[in-house]
Structure 1
């Protein structure tokens, strides 16, 4: 939350409903919150871990989106809640990370600088900011195309258009994309 690929930002009530389902079924929560600071038009991010301290919650984030350094491959996972219910799972994750993952040493310094508050994405997502303006233009242009509609994204970096099959009878999406690439020389 915000959602990839729709750009939807789920309100607190929806998240609480999802968390209630997790409670009823004894599930761990995996929360991808990498877009938590890329919000538009007053949308609010609600963290699953904050809303459900009684559930085991694995929250994922990183530098690639908010701090625009995708090439650094720098991310993290925070585990919250009553860990005793997921001890074996977490031990398995630790073993896997120890065997297969190694840190990007220069990026470790970037994490400290980024989280330390020296940089912010706020001016980019505010009205007049580059990301805000790009989101608005993409949304406007998509909605100008006959047979294409799009809800204005409230967060993240994506727009998810609906293509009316009555106007654009696409049978094979892969063929459609390849034909478009060839025709428009994209």
Structure 2
């Protein structure tokens, strides 16, 4: 009897795993297609372990900001690692500026997440949707300033691949476009 149960479980397990993957993928598709940049959104979430599709817009918006935060930290760390091997003065200067800009981006995204989190509704942190939009716009401006600086100083071949592969600008644009009032929790 035990062998039959074990055999049936082994047959059904691959089916259940495939079914779970299909539900998860289709679950994020419906949310990501509501953003200006659905492909980076889908790529990010489909590659996350333990990912669960959101159930409401406010959850999705938090997930988008968390995704941008994860990518910003990754980009800043990679830029910092690259600066250790850089001997060109102009590239070092641009790298230092980009590292600072990404540090500020992380701070702005963190402010936004603190404001958006359920703990913020306890009244200890007050912010409006306008505040969150401002912080997200500032974070996006920081990353764009880094990108433009690399072009202005003709060092884009060195820094742009690091910054581009994170798709952070697209993820932040997606976050900024998802309107979910934050201040209703404080009223």
The TM-score with structure 1 as length reference comes to 0.26
Greater RCO, 1 or 2 (C-alpha within 8 Å, sep 6+): 2
Q: TM-score, normalised by structure 2?
A: 0.26
